[in-house]
Structure 1
Amino acid sequence: MNMTLQGGRTGRRMNEGSREARVSLPPRRAWPGQLALAPLLLTATVHCGAGTTSHENAGESDTDASRGSMLAASECTPGTSGNPIVAGWYADPDIKIYNGVYWVYPTYSAPYEAQTYLDAFSSTDLIHWTKHSKVLDKANVSWATRAIWAPSPIFRNNTYYLYFGANDIQNDGQLGGIGVAKSNNPGGPYVDAIGRPLISKFINGAQPIDQNIFIDDDGQAYLYYGGWGHCNIVKVNNDMISLDNSSFKEITPSGYVEGALMFKRKGKYYLMWSEGGWTGPDYRVSYAVANSPMGPFPKAGTILSQNAAIGKGSGHNSVVNVPGTDDWYIFYHRRPLGETDGNHRVLAYDRMYFNGDGTIQPVEMSSQDNFCDGNALGWTPYGGTWTVSNGRYATQQNPDAKALLDTHFSALAYEADVTPGASGDAGLLFRVSNPGAGLDAYKGYYAGIAAGSDRVVLGKANAGAWTELASAAATIDPNVTYHLAVVANGDRISVYLNHSTTPILTATDATYASGAVGVRAHDSAAAFDNVKATKPPGVIFYADGGYGGLGISLNAGSYTLAQLNAAGIPNDWMSSLRVPAGWTVQVYQHNDFAGTMWTFTADTSLLPAEANDQMSSVRIFAP
């Protein structure tokens, strides 16, 4: 088996400068550093299109949600078909439902001089999207010349309105600001409604951009807007094209930069906004809750920020409630990890959950794809010809066909439904780096199943050299779907077949600390479905700053130095950590919970100098 993967050295710490598969299974073991897990929930695999039959193990059940990433395949439901949701560079999405159809209006993300129009996208199911080109063009707005931004739609007076910013004015002497266009169709064309900006001056220090229109239950319309760190609200008259100029009020919450959004749920008013710099990785979404649309809006917390494994620069959002439910989704833009151009932003959405008291849980960026939308956006092929067919990502027989997601996982739980061909093998790539250097330059790990040799294999590649780490006999039929899962936690790697609670393969190897995930077919036709990568449950400790180097996950508990070592964590090793919402981590300088203690309640990309590489024991508290 010639595995040709490649990658680079991890950086140092930032402050240092048709049969059920029949297998002989080894004794059950817990994930490294974790408590023993309960059995998995096993259900039939569901493909989004016609496909081959899947054979799953039966007779076991799941009573522990800690293995949520290892659930059986998902159906074609909103949020399961991967991000980005549409092709092209877009940002600042706002979403409305018109006559049972979801409409997303984003900024065309390009240099300002090229931002002369707006596209829209519609969907009946939040899965399949239709593009509507140039619903608003500067040709229909006499005063707009460039930088047409952040459209905000609304329907009233039997008319579709679209509020937008244009020209990015820097002072009151320049022509531009916030405009309003109208149409008799949600797909446009929209034309300027008043022949001039609706708001053309700086009021209360707010640059007139990033407008969001909201109509309350009593019929009063409000416009929330503002850049340069100031947020205003103003009442909009019933004609929707004029303002109550006496009602301007500054409502700037702590941390506000731009991107205001208002929505209402269960009688409460939620103001959302973006913080950080729009070209930087620190762009993020925070929110406040009030009893009135006018505020006040004390900051309640940050709910969306970059995920170093999936995407950066996440912000300028909107939300939508599925009619007749309490299901909510947050639409936003983010920048793929491999992109450095500030305008290279894509549209994404994820599920948004509320707590019982009305506060919002932090949003988990997702990295999954069941190909129900009929495309493979976000995937980059390296060798072979890849297509989406019958709701699966497939390739014909090729000496070595790979496709990767722009991700960077260290500790991870990774799974997919894999359908191998009659020869060769097919499976999952993880911790892969340097993919663009050619097939013989890859580095990374691979877990695959082979119908030709009836076995499961785990190995690693280094510039064309393949090293097998473990293998096991298993009856693998061609053109039959199997569920394959990998858990990589620090240097401990486990491979699971068909939802078994016991790994069929285990290995200890720390050659590659982090990298991309993907799929591979070696000398085999293959198809893949229900691909999903997540971080394991618990707190993840990283060897390097910026969530770099080897990552190891620990559940709640108290860990002496001996217990940390047993989990794969050396003494005085940790430089950054990711902390789930509501969890508390107490890091101790010495063994047995002695010496200086540092407390962490949120993700920390680089520990303070005095705490860096000082962990000798730790206590972890879950909510």
Structure 2
Amino acid sequence: MNLTLPEGLTPRLARQRPWLSSLAPLLLTTTLHCGNGTTQHQDPRDNGADASHARASGADGTGAGPEGLRSAALAPECSPGTSGNPFVGGWYADPDIKIYNGVYWVYPTYSAPYDAQTFLDAFSSPDLIHWTKHSKVLDKVNVSWATRAIWAPSPIFRNNTYYLYFGANDIQSDGQLGGIGVAKSNNPGGPYVDALGRPLISQFVNGAQPIDQNIFIDDNGQAYLYYGGWGHCNVVKINNDMISLDSSSFKEITPPGYVEGALMFKRNGKYYLMWSEGGWTGPDYRVSYAMANSPLGPFPKTGTILSQNAAIGTGSGHNTVVNVPGTDDWYIFYHRRPLGETDGNHRVLAYDRMSFNSDGTIKPVEMSSQDNFCDGDALGWTPYGATWTVSNGRYVPQQKPDAKALLNTAFSALTYEADVTPGATGDAGLIFRVSNPGAGLDAYKGYYAGIAAGSDRVVLGKANGGTWTELASAGAAIDPNVAYHLAIVANGDRISVYLNRSATPIVTAIDATYTTGAVGVRAHDSAAAFDNVNASKPPGAVFYADGGYGGLGISLSAGNYTLAQLNAAGIPNDWMSSLRVPNGWTVQVYQNGDFTGTMWKFTADTPLIPQDANDQMSSVKILAQ
């Protein structure tokens, strides 16, 4: 938004301007960022149906222009999924979604200790961008048997009535009161009232705890309820009245790895069962799926499509999906935990685009870290040193000596871009690999790339507490109150800064002082504005010095790399402990520098490589799909 200069604008160095030898000390400060179901067509009123990267560096490690940023700039403004995550405020989890009368409705769990989970809120949106909260659409006062742990609502419309299926009481045996209930309302925003006066499913069938229900109506009108905890998944037919079931139809359909969070949707005649694996507070929570020709399965596992992302968020799971009516655009809604959160209930709602391969399989979902402020808010941003507001679709600080706002991210190798509008004084730009959030000016650390209208300069430097070190700078004609596209590619110790999508960087530096940290925006004594912020890992396979994708990260494109070529790209011998592998790629790691010795093959992200392979990489072959 608000980009006023043509793409590829070159610096007008011939213009006479006073050149200043340096910018004022560019002091950073701290960081923090936080940010289901399928739509069915049972009612004519339900009109719904159920990145910006730089080119990876070559063997010499120098890289090329951030070509991916050009195509990203052509994406429609204010489109779904571009205004940042979380998309609503508050602690929530387990979302499900439906479209009613052209409006998207998300129903999540209120994420809190079980005894506080006594109600359900909902959120509605006409466009998947602007959201309205509807408080307590279901409350335990309207469900005589529910006392706590009201979980995982699943909505549907039928019989001129809105139904909401939910779990309550977290029962641990058949002797306890609770299980799966159903409530109804004349309005999608409630209030929903218990339809039975008792649970719909109150017993353990086939070993499945009666929780995490998902309602699905097939094209022939038959309704199914998918549900189950404790590692078992059942499906049961629901009668046309939507408040009773065919008790003879219970069938266990547990796919490999299933833990909880069943979700069914249909696309192009195929049935997709999704579920969550791992522990909801652990390091391995993730979303997997299966495909079948029948709503009853069988459901052999097809793959995992959503995993935790150490750069953006953890605990990603219990999802739903939605198809934008009249398109083949799909989005996955899920919950995740902001980095650094240790309270298991501190979960937020997020969504990202979900894409399919030509054979109907689902591509792995990339968690996004971006914000174009089209929704009018700055959820997930933490300001420091000044008050920040969203004005006319841009993020704007008070003019202060050191105004910063950060996203709670932890990128090492990254591509980071934004439209930066500097004021007439001071400078403005992007900060990255920032650490020690909240510790104050004398303790925080990180890099900064900025532009200044007063001195006509682009500068790259680093802060170490109160000490500022300039790494590189270049002259460029910078006008005040004009938006400039600023992009950073940080790949290992190689840092490049691009202005207005130029094919070559305007400044570069080699520095490995800081290996990972948060991203953010900064204005030094400038009436600046920021827009179209987007951070992501570069394309290609990314190799990390430490386990868990920690330490310095270096991205390599497809190709064969001898030890000398790895060294040229910034990767020392016997150095790699974890890696990220793009979908469909294969990475072959060799013990010796000439593709000999023991070979280890990796076809997926690996947070800790096997012990015998750790710190053993001396050459590598990277094979793209």
- TM above 0.5: yes
Retained in 2: the 8 A contact 1:459–1:468? yes
Q: What letter matches 1:512 in structure 2?
A: Y
2:534 is aligned to: 532
Deviations 1:491-521 (A, max 9, x none): 0000000110110000000000000000000
For residues 6 and 436 of structure 1, the distance between their equivalents in structure 2, rounded to whole angstroms, comes to 7
Alignment of 1:437-452 (within 5 A): 437-452=439-454
Distance of aligned partners of 1:569 and 1:619 in 2 relative to their CA distance in 1, 3 Å threshold: same
Equivalence for 1:156: 158
Aligned residue for 2:598, secondary structure, equals strand
Distance 1:458 1:554 in 2: 24
SS at match of 1:599: strand
1:109-148 mapped onto 2 (5 Å cutoff): 109-148=111-150
In the alignment, structure 2 segments of 5+ residues that lack a partner are 1-23, 32-54
**Aligned residue identity for 1:169:** I
Q: In 2, are the aligned partners of 1:92 and 1:150 still within 8 Å (CA)?
A: yes
Instruction: Please tell me whether the aligned partners of residues 6 and 461 of structure 1 are also in contact (alpha carbons under 8 angstroms).
Output: no
2:27 partner amino acid: T
Which residue number corresponds to residue 501 of structure 1? 503
Structure 1 match to 2:11: none
Please give the residue correspondences for 1:537-548 in structure 2 after superposition, counting only pairs within 5 Å. Answer: 537-548=539-550
In structure 2, what is the equivalent of residue 56 of structure 1? none
| 1:451 Cα deviation from its structure 2 partner | 0.9
The amino acid that maps onto 2:613 is A
In the other structure, the counterpart of 1:186 is 188
1:4 to 27, 38, 42: 27
Retained in 1: the 8 A contact 2:56–2:556? no
* Cα deviation, residue 435, structure 1: 1.7
Query: Aligned residues, how many?
Result: 579
Cα distance in 1, alignment partners of residues 293 and 318 from structure 2: 23
Structure 1 unmatched runs, 5+: 9-28, 41-63
Equivalences for residues 75-474 of structure 1 within 5 A: 75-474=77-476
Deviations along 1:362-412, one digit per CA (max 9) or x if unpaired, are 000000000000000000111111000100110121010111001000000
Question: What secondary structure does 2:248 align onto?
Answer: helix
Cα distance change on mapping 1:363 and 1:504 into 2, 3 Å? same
Q: Is the 8 A contact 1:33 1:553 kept in 2?
A: no
Amino acid at match of 1:458: L
Deviates more, 1:69-78 or 1:585-594: 69-78
Deviation of 1:281 (Å): 2.8
User: Any idea what the Cα deviations from partners look like across 1:309-329, whole Å, max 9, x if unmatched?
Assistant: 111110000000011111100
Separation in structure 2 between the aligned mates of residue 402 and residue 33 of structure 1, nearest angstrom? 36
Paired residue secondary structure (1:562): helix
2:58–2:557 contact (8 Å) kept in structure 1: no
Q: Supply the distance in 2 between the matched residues of 1:35 and 1:114 (Cα, whole angstroms).
A: 53
Task: Give the 3-state SS of the residue equivalent to 1:486 in structure 2.
Answer: strand
Does the aligned pair in 2 maintain the 1:564–1:570 contact within 8 Å? yes
The letter for the 1-side match of 2:191 is P
Contact 2:80/2:127 (8 A) holds in 1:
yes
CA shift at 1:3, angstroms? 2.5
Shift of 1:4: 2.6
- Which residue is 2:616 aligned to? 614
Report the residue type matching 1:348 in the other structure: A
* 2:498 aligned partner, one-letter code: Y
Contact 1:430 1:518 in 2 (8 A): yes
Counterpart-to-counterpart distance in 1, 2:562 and 2:159: 67
CA-to-aligned-CA distance 1:224-259 (integer Å, 9 cap, x gap): 000000000000000000000000010000000000
Task: Please say if residues 56 and 555 of structure 2, whose CA atoms lie closer than 8 Å, have aligned partners that are also in contact.
Answer: no
Cα RMSD for the two superposed structures: 1.6
Preserved contact between residue 384 and residue 404 of structure 2 (Cα < 8 Å): yes
Does the CA contact (< 8 Å) of 2:28 and 2:402 recur in 1? no
CA contact (8 A) 1:154 1:213 kept: yes
**Hey, what's the Cα distance between the residues in 1 that align with 2:278 and 2:303?**
14
Contact persistence 2:424–2:454 (CA under 8 A): yes
Structure 2 SS opposite 1:537: coil
Q: Does structure 1 retain, via aligned residues, the 8 Å contact 2:356–2:362?
A: yes
Once residues 30 and 541 of structure 1 are traced to their aligned partners in structure 2, the CA distance between those partners, rounded to angstroms, is: 12
Question: 8 Å contact 2:118–2:147 — kept in the other structure?
Answer: yes
The answer on whether the counterparts of 1:333 and 1:346 sit within 8 Å (CA) in structure 2 is yes
Cα deviation, 1:126-174, whole Å, max 9, x if unaligned, reads: 0000000000000000000000000000000000000000000001111
Q: Give the deviation of 1:339 after TM superposition.
A: 1.1
**Percent identity of paired positions between Structure 1 and Structure 2:** 85
Q: How does 1:468-617 map to 2 (within 5 A)?
A: 468-617=470-619
1:90 Cα shift? 0.3
Q: Structure 1's 323 and 123: CA in aligned 2 closer, same or farther, altered over 3 A?
A: same
Q: Which residue of 2 aligns with 1:60?
A: none
Aligned partners of 1:448 and 1:458 also within 8 Å: yes
Shift of the 30–372 alpha-carbon distance from structure 1 to 2, 3 Å rule, reads closer
Whether contact under 8 Å (2:415, 2:535) holds in the other structure is yes
Contact 1:444–1:462 (CA under 8 A) maintained in structure 2: yes
In 1, Cα distance between equivalents of 2:277 and 2:217: 25
Alpha carbons of structure 1 residues 496 and 458: separation in structure 2 relative to 1, 3 Å: same
Instruction: Give the ranges of 4+ consecutive aligned residues of structure 1 lying more than 3 Å apart after TM superposition.
Output: 5-8, 29-40, 66-74
**What is the alpha-carbon distance in structure 1 between the residues aligned to residue 555 and residue 336 of structure 2?**
26
Distance 2:317 2:65 in 1: 38
SS at match of 2:281: coil
Residue identity in the other structure for 1:363: V
The answer to whether the 8 A contact 1:5-1:435 is kept is no
Structure 1 residues 589 and 7: alpha-carbon distance in aligned structure 2, compared to 1, 3 A threshold: farther
1:609 offset after TM fit, Å?
Answer: 1.2
TM-score of the superposition, structure 2-length normalised?
0.91
